[in-house]
Amino acid sequence: MFDSFFGVVYPAAVPTDQVIGSFSNYKGGLNGGAGVEFKLGKSNVKMFAEAKYHYMFTRPTPTTFVPVSFGFRW
């Protein structure tokens, strides 16, 4: 049987519309962020940048990441 999702051939047929495994994990965490905004010239268009720090209490190593966003507002 050819699995079109993974692109490999298996000896048994597995439907692609059924969940065969699942895993969930809920952990506490902390986050904080900051941003800046600048007006561009005399127009109403503004440019912004923001960053957020995320910390999750996972073991054995805490999970941390910092997403950064840039954009325009009008």
DSSP structure string for 22-38 = -------EEEEEEEEEE
Counting the structural domains of the chain, the total is 1
The residue-averaged pLDDT of 47-51 equals 97
Q: Is residue 72 part of a domain?
A: yes
Partner residues linked to 36 by β-bridges: 49
Which SS3 state, helix, strand or coil, does residue 35 take? Answer: strand
> pTM of the entire structure?
0.57
Mean pLDDT, range 50-70, rounded to an integer = 95
Whether 65 is in a domain gets the answer yes
Residue 9 lies in a domain: no
pLDDT number for residue 13: 62
Res 20: pLDDT: 73
User: For residue 7, how far is the Cα from the chain centroid?
Assistant: 25
Domain that holds residue 36: 28-74
Report if residue 1 sits inside a domain: no
Q: Is residue 40 part of a domain?
A: yes
- pLDDT, tens digit, for every residue of 1-18? 666 677 777 776 666 777
Point out which residues pair with 37 in neighbouring strands. 48
